[in-house]
């Protein structure tokens, strides 16, 4: 694989060692430690590489910076863990069904749970109990700062952030697979908490990755670390089930590319042009990608024509509309009406996003 700089290549090498418990590779000549530390911070993986980077003699300034990052993260995670335990008691007392998502579940696949950084804690809950969730969180001193879409974001100083999801995807999304995590969720004895099946955990991780990639053209290396660890875990995943679902969501080929990509990154497998394209995007725009890059990509598809760009945005191809709106999978005759619905919905609910996109479009 061809890297754009030695810092990104060495960061991947360090991640590989951390994830697989391998020996630390020699430091390449000319490595800019300041750039590498900055990159690990942007990608939110400094806690992942901490166990192996301690075995290397690095410049004092960068060593202190990494120590500062990891110690602060450790303090934050201990505080978040204690807060979660108290919230969990409230959820149990009120018998509110809920499921841990993203890092709360994925951290269990890392050699140490502390190696998986999380900007917040994500929890799916029974939407009919929303008023109870709000009461619980406000009683604990949290402020509800965002409730648009299908999630409620709660924050409390100095660094507590919890996102309670009413759903995982919605028709306001650019990508809206018909994925219901409650269908197969596993009950935990004597608890109101349920768990995703191993297959649904993999599906959601991949679908969440695709959502970031599709809407922002890129996502960071941590997403791929998660996928790699899920694939090499002791979980005996039912790939007949997984592949059937991926095909129904229209992301089967994307998953194949991601699997090849993580095997090339961390196991040295060969890669082709598609995997190289993924690598080229990974370190471009931090961990979550940038919407501006998606505009650039769409302009290239439109041959530089703003008219074609806007036409495609207002009237996406049928294949994309089926991804957006699940009802079209069974009733494709409703396609003309869904175009009208999409236009009206975006005009009312997403006007700020549309204005920003048009502003960016004027640069081309």
Distance CA 178, CA 167 (A): 11
pLDDT at residue 297 tops 60: no
Banded pLDDT at 29 (limits 50, 70, 90): very high
| DSSP per position, 105-167 | HHGGGSSSGGGS--SSEEEEE-GGGHHHHHHHHHHTT-EEEE-STTEEEEEETTTEEEEEES-
pLDDT at residue 126 tops 60: yes
DSSP letter for 332, please: G
Candidate from 47-61, 210-224, 279-293 with smallest mean pLDDT: 279-293
Q: Which residue has the tokens 């890092």?
A: 103
How many angstroms separate the Cα of 9 from the Cα of each of 1, 157, 172? 9, 37, 37
DSSP run (H or E) holding 99: strand 98-100
pLDDT of residue 348: 67
Domain coordinates of the chain in residue numbers? 196-289, 304-364
Decide: helix, strand or coil at residue 340. Answer: helix
Is the sign of the CA dihedral 91, 92, 98, 100 positive or negative?
A: positive
What percent of the chain stands above pLDDT 90? 57
Banded pLDDT at 299 (limits 50, 70, 90): low
pLDDT of residue 9: 95
Distance CA 178, CA 203 (A): 12
Mean pLDDT of the chain: 87
Q: Which residue has the tokens 């969180």?
A: 137
335-360 per-position pLDDT tens digit? 888 888 878 777 766 666 666 666 66
Contacts of 332 (CB under 8 A, 6+ apart): 318, 322
SS (H, E, C) 176-236: CCCCCCCCCCEECCCCCEEECCHHHHHHHHHHHHHHHHHHHCCCCHHHHHHHHHHHCCCCC
Could you tell me if 179 and 203 are in contact, meaning their C-beta atoms sit under 8 angstroms apart? yes
pLDDT of residue 223: 94
DSSP run (H or E) holding 71: helix 60-93
161-195 per-position pLDDT tens digit? 999 999 998 766 778 888 999 999 999 999 999 99
pLDDT of residue 170: 77
Rounded to 5°, the CA angle 157-104-232 comes to 145
Kindly report the pTM of this predicted structure. Answer: 0.81
In the predicted model, what is the mean pLDDT of residues 133-153? 90
What percent of the chain stands above pLDDT 70? 85
């Amino acid at each position: 694989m061809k890297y754009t700089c030695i810092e990104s290549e060495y960061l991947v090498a360090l991640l590989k060692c951390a994830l697989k418990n391998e020996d630390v590779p020699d430091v390449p000549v000319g490595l800019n430690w300041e750039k590498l530390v900055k990159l690990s911070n942007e990608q939110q993986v400094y806690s992942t590489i901490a166990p192996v980077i301690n075995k290397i003699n690095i410049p004092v300034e960068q060593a202190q910076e990494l120590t500062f990052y990891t110690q602060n993260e450790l303090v934050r995670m201990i505080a978040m863990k204690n807060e979660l335990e108290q919230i969990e008691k409230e959820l149990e007392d009120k018998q509110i069904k809920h499921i841990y998502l993203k890092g709360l579940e994925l951290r269990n696949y890392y050699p140490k749970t502390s190696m998986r950084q999380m900007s917040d804690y994500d929890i799916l809950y029974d939407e009919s109990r929303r008023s109870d969730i709000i009461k619980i969180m406000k009683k604990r001193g949290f402020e509800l700062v965002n409730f648009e879409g299908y999630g409620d974001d709660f924050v409390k100083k100095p660094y507590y952030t919890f996102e309670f999801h009413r759903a995982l995807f919605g028709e306001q999304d650019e990508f809206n697979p018909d994925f219901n995590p409650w269908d197969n969720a596993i009950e935990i004895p004597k608890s109101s908490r349920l768990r995703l099946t191993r297959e649904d955990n993999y599906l959601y991780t991949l679908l969440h990755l695709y959502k970031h990639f599709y809407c922002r053209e890129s996502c960071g290396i941590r997403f791929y670390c998660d996928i790699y660890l899920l694939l090499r875990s002791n979980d005996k995943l039912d790939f007949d089930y997984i592949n059937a679902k991926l095909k129904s969501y229209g992301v089967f080929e994307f998953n194949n590319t991601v699997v090849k990509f993580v095997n090339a990154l961390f196991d040295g497998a060969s890669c082709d042009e598609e995997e190289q394209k993924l690598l080229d995007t990974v370190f471009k725009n931090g961990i979550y990608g940038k919407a501006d890059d998606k505009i650039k990509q769409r302009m290239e598809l439109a041959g530089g024509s703003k008219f074609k760009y806007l036409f495609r945005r207002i009237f996406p191809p049928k294949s994309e509309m089926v991804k957006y709106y699940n009802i079209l999978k069974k009733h494709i005759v409703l396609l003309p009406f869904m175009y009208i619905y999409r236009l009206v919905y975006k005009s009312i609910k997403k006007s700020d996003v549309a204005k920003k996109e048009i502003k960016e479009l004027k640069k081309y």
